Structure 1
Amino acid sequence: MMCKQPNSSVGISGSTSSSKSAQAPIPSCSSPKARNKQKLRTNNIRLASLNIQSITSSKKRASFWNLLDSINCDILCGCETWLKPDIHDAEILPPNSNFNIHRKDRRDGYGGSIILIKNTIKHERIEVDSICDIVFVKIECANNESLIIGSAYRPTNNDESYAHNLFDTISKVCKMYKKSAIWITGDFNLPDINWTNNTIQGHQYKKSINEAFLHMEPDLGLTQMIDFHTRGNNILDLFFSNRPDLVNQCSPMPGISDHHAVFIDTNMCVPRLKPPKHTLLMWGKANIDNMKKKCSNLSDTILNLTDTNIEDCWTLFKHGCTHIVAEEVPARQTSQRYNQPWVTRDIRRITRQKKRWFKRARRSNTQHDWDRYITIKRQAQLTCRRAHDHHVASMLSEDHENPKVFWQYIKSRKKENFGVAPLKKDGITFSGSKQKADILNDQFTSVFTKEDDLNRHNYQNAIFQI
């Protein structure tokens, strides 16, 4: 379903709205030298917004990871994460994920907002002083412009102060970045508002709460663009933008809670760091016999050298070994696409089946199709959970052939990333990097042997006598 198309406005590139003009052209390269200088590539941003309802739940984790793998979005904004500050990022993301995470947690373990953004996109977090469940990120776009993305959550209560604080926080960020494109998304729990004509038609929440967010457009220039139901017959998940002409399409898709997720395709161009490719040597397919013969010949060549200094011998040895490996050990390049090893063909099949039934249920809007969709959705969650648990169990088994995979998984699940633990000296604990480095340096130097000049002179004389 297409979004509402308001009147055209000035795009991020400074031109009037159009699908072609909003995209920043990639510079053409007329020579190999110019082509090598192009380190960045540009693509349009694809964003997903969803209500999660416990991202660390054993029933939701595998489904959430499968969602990241299947929708191929650049940015994911989530709410109701139910995270606490003592939960580490490694417990949220899949192992070796290509996403960076920005969170706003509650201490009570409910609510919360999150933004996941691919590590190939240059960005930074915007720190705001607010009690509300909202987090902001700034992205550097083409033509030296910027994009501000916010993920927010308003609880299901009649707390007027919270609603006004949330509005004031959004207003403050909009005033700080007046020339930037701004996207605010999340679950605002405002079923009383009819966003087609911007009127209040219900009485579930106080009038002042509904009016605060109706003023987003006249006061802040933010247009609410979702015009389809996201939970039951209500529009609870919203998407505000001050540049609606840069949004190609926003449409519903299957979520992982009782809310539908929202997928947004845009004309916003962002420079991306091209992920480097690494060469992987496949030692299991190496020709060991030929390598032994060539290494023996290299050894004889080096031993038969005369009048050659150590530097030339080392250079010959290094180049010889490199040449042998390149000839006898097959290699392949790593893929730039991140795939989770436990996502099997069956999972992809049932995920596609879930999407088809979701579209069918939305078209027909019959109870039979919705019941069938919910059944398949539960089957998909169960399939994902079982596949992930089986994958982990196979790595933990004693007869696993590759222990390296096991330790890579253990490393990816660690809850700390400070490297050297806090150190104690004279009964005082130090956690600063420089302080820990000084303590280790003092410890290493304390065990060195301190030789005086007399002992060194006697030692040299003994060598000369030998």
Structure 2
Amino acid sequence: MDNDTYDALTNKSFNWLCPHCEITCFTNSYFSSSEGETTDNDDDTEDYDNDNKSGDDDITDSTKNKRKPASKKSLRKEMLFTTLNINFQSIMNKRAEWEAMIHELQPDFIHGTETWLDSSIENAECLPDGYALHRRDRSSGTDRHGGVFFAYRKDLPVNRRQDLETNSEMLWCQLNIQGRRPILFGTLYKPKHDDIETVEDLAVMLETINNHSKLKDVVIQGDLNQPNIDWVNKKVIVNHPASKITAERLLQTVQEHGLDQVVDKPTRLNSILDLVLTNNSSFIKNVEVIPCLSDHEAVLSVLNGFAQVKKKPPHKIYLKHKADVEKIKQDMKIFGDEVNLTVQEKWDMFDSKIKQVMDENVPTKMSSNRRNLPWFTRTHIRMCKKKGRMYSKAKRTGDQKDWEEYKEFCRTIKKRVEPRQKRVRGG
């Protein structure tokens, strides 16, 4: 919002339409007239009530029930999504470090490449609680050093778009947005620098998306393994051993479909391999290259959008380690067997008895929406923050000694977190 619009909404008295929730409001200011920035308390509610007292006679009963617009600060919080683009080189070999990274960053969406997963591994083994995912593993009988997935918070309305998928390692998912066009997320892995088939498949899918009647914001993230493109200057690097034909075709595809590549720092050695492509760079607020779990760096980006969140109701959790086992055994001995009952009636009776005994002898608690790791302590949090500082120092100085210290500290973290994770989970 520009300054003129802000001043107009602050000082004028008229009915206005909230640009975010599209509800007509009847206050004489969009924001608090006493402050330029609202606070976390409920002072703005009092201001809202006082503003409307003088105009109650002119407002009908239906308009009195209109919802007060959210404050500028709360709107800003609600509209930000965090996405993580990460090359794993085997997610299962780095489970403890991976879960710690998720706990620290709390991303809303995750684009994963080189997952190295197969059908024997369940989704719940790949991610901590609170996330769902769609994935494309490499088929059995082929080199399993690939595969992609797209993970997201369970309370976000995400649907997979299999109609846009081809034989390439490409995955499409759609996020439905409240009051604006949806966001189409693409996760892509191009395993070789001369893999022009994947680039052609991408061009075909982008053409299909552009020809669709309903416009969408498109965000494509992944590892495209094209080291001979200078993404800052948008040109192919000459005298580079990587495929010039594939690089030119990829650049042509990006430019023909109006995409911007927003990562401007190397993600592996001196090359930008892990990309963030979008047809609407205005809603990407920030992009940061951060230390990762493999020889690639990860890309953390912030998107500006507002989705209709599906809140999961809290549910009861039995604390089995605090159960009165002896009392449970005694109560179950009393359980009798009625001969004249059908199989279904016997099962219903058994099921109700089990639930009754558990409720009486096993303490419970209600689930929380927070995604906490029980094995991840404050010490681990401090170590992760120190790891980030050591990475920033090594990137800034380029000193080999700093890089060796950073790598050694990463190995120390791994030795600390993996045993505790297995111990807490009983693995």
Question: Is 2:374 aligned against 1:338?
Answer: no
Quote the residue 1:159 is aligned against. Answer: 195
Quote the residue 1:180 is aligned against. Answer: 216
Residue deviations 1:145-184 (CA, integer Å, cap 9, x gap): 2000011110125233333224333443444376111000
Quote the residue 2:345 is aligned against. Answer: none
Q: Give the SS at the match of 1:65.
A: helix
Question: Is 2:385 aligned against 1:349?
Answer: no
Q: Structure 1 residues 111, 200: closer, same or farther in 2, change over 3 A?
A: same
1-structure distance, mates of 2:213, 2:106: 28
TM-score (norm 2): 0.69
CA contact (8 A) 2:229 2:235 kept: yes
Quick one: which amino acid aligns to residue 271 of structure 2?
N
**Structure 2: runs of 5+ lacking an equivalent:** 1-16, 26-44, 50-62, 71-76, 323-358
Quote the residue 1:122 is aligned against. Answer: 157
Quote the residue 2:340 is aligned against. Answer: none
Quote the residue 1:102 is aligned against. Answer: 134
2-structure distance, mates of 1:64, 1:44: 23
Aligned-pair CA distance for 1:226: 0.5
CA contact (8 A) 1:164 1:209 kept: no
Q: Structure 1 residues 135, 249: closer, same or farther in 2, change over 3 A?
A: same
Question: Is 2:123 aligned against 1:89?
Answer: yes
CA contact (8 A) 1:167 1:212 kept: no
After TM superposition, the structure 1 = structure 2 runs for residues 386-405 of structure 1, keeping only pairs within 5 Å, are 386-392=419-425, 395=426
CA contact (8 A) 2:193 2:243 kept: no
After TM superposition, the structure 1 = structure 2 runs for residues 49-68 of structure 1, keeping only pairs within 5 Å, are 49-57=85-93, 60-68=94-102
TM-score (norm 1): 0.63
Q: Structure 1 residues 347, 205: closer, same or farther in 2, change over 3 A?
A: same
Residue deviations 1:67-106 (CA, integer Å, cap 9, x gap): 1111011001110111123432133223xx1111111111
After TM superposition, the structure 1 = structure 2 runs for residues 65-84 of structure 1, keeping only pairs within 5 Å, are 65-84=99-118
CA contact (8 A) 1:22 1:246 kept: no
Q: Structure 1 residues 146, 367: closer, same or farther in 2, change over 3 A?
A: same
CA contact (8 A) 2:218 2:278 kept: yes
**Partner residue of 2:20 out of 20, 24, 29:** 24
Aligned identity (percent) is 26
RMSD of aligned alpha carbons = 3.4
2-structure distance, mates of 1:32, 1:103: 48
Residue deviations 1:191-232 (CA, integer Å, cap 9, x gap): 100111111114332222101210233211110010001111
Question: Is 2:404 aligned against 1:368?
Answer: no
Q: Give the SS at the match of 1:63.
A: helix
Quote the residue 1:274 is aligned against. Answer: 311
1-structure distance, mates of 2:387, 2:247: 34
Quote the residue 1:385 is aligned against. Answer: 418
Q: Give the SS at the match of 2:308.
A: strand
**Structure 1: runs of 5+ lacking an equivalent:** 1-20, 286-324, 397-466
Using CA pairs below 8 Å that are at least 6 residues apart, which structure has the higher relative contact order?
A: 1
2-structure distance, mates of 1:80, 1:343: 26
Residue deviations 1:336-364 (CA, integer Å, cap 9, x gap): 21112111222212111111111222222
Question: Is 2:170 aligned against 1:137?
Answer: no
CA contact (8 A) 2:165 2:171 kept: no
**Partner residue of 2:269 out of 197, 216, 232:** 232
Q: Structure 1 residues 26, 391: closer, same or farther in 2, change over 3 A?
A: farther
Q: Structure 1 residues 385, 129: closer, same or farther in 2, change over 3 A?
A: same
Quick one: which amino acid aligns to residue 250 of structure 1?
V
1-structure distance, mates of 2:21, 2:105: 26
1-structure distance, mates of 2:135, 2:321: 42
